[in-house]
Amino acid sequence: MELALFDLDNTLLSGDSDYEWAQFLIEEGVLERDRYEALNQRFYEQYQAGRLDIFEFLDFQLAPLARYSREQLDRWHQRFMERKIRPIIREKGLALVRGHQERGSLCAIITSTNAFVTGPIAREIGVGHLLATEIEEVDGRFTGRARGTPCFREGKILRLEAWLREQGREVRSFAASWFYSDSRNDLPLMERVTRPVAVDPDEVLERTARERGWDVISLE
């Protein structure tokens, strides 16, 4: 059996679900535009540059979730899926996932974006396993804090290893292990698999991939 891991934002999606969720809340009037739009853009640029402080970002991203009931958040998320996410799901990305599934690969989306935002997206794409940043809940409400290790940079390796360990597996037990990503932030995990694939990569990842002979593809 092979292992196939897929980054989500700017890989299977032609956009960033983290960024789009904040923009959606701004457009809905939930977040104050002047303050949150500037912060959202700043964090996105830091991520692209490989300089994101994940804990500072999570404080920004998760705090609004603690202010509202899960029912209200779910209603917003349904509109978010329709307005922001379905238009940016890449058809070639869907075909790539289906190809691995048809070959019998163990498939998972692994993303730094939190599980509330990405859970419905993974279901829409048709991937049953999601490794994402988890959010703390108390009595059915989000607290606005992350739970456990954020699924970011080296944290993706830790989360993947823990998930596989629950199944009595490890990365090297697979005949081949694939990871598709666009971002320099995913280099730690790409170095752990046997078949790293750069997807419409940023400059740093593209240069690294070319130097190391990794596959470089486009899903646009």
Task: Read off the tokens for 121.
Answer: 């997206």
Instruction: Encode 26-43: b = buried (16+ Cβ within 10 Å), e = exposed.
Output: beeebbeeeebeebbeeb
202 is a catalytic site residue: no
- Nearest in space to 64 (alpha carbons), one of 144, 147, 135, 145: 144
CB atoms within 10 A of CB 124: 13
- Residues 117/62, Cβ–Cβ less than 8 Å: no
Q: Which of 9, 16, 18, 186 is catalytic?
A: 9
Q: What is the DSSP string of 114-170?
A: EHHHHHHHHHHHT---EEEEEEEEETTEEEEEEESS-SSTHHHHHHHHHHHHHTT--
9 is a catalytic site residue: yes
Task: Read off the tokens for 78.
Answer: 């349904």
C-alpha span between 12 and 88 (Å, rounded): 9
C-alpha span between 14 and 88 (Å, rounded): 5
- Residues acting as catalytic residues: 7, 9
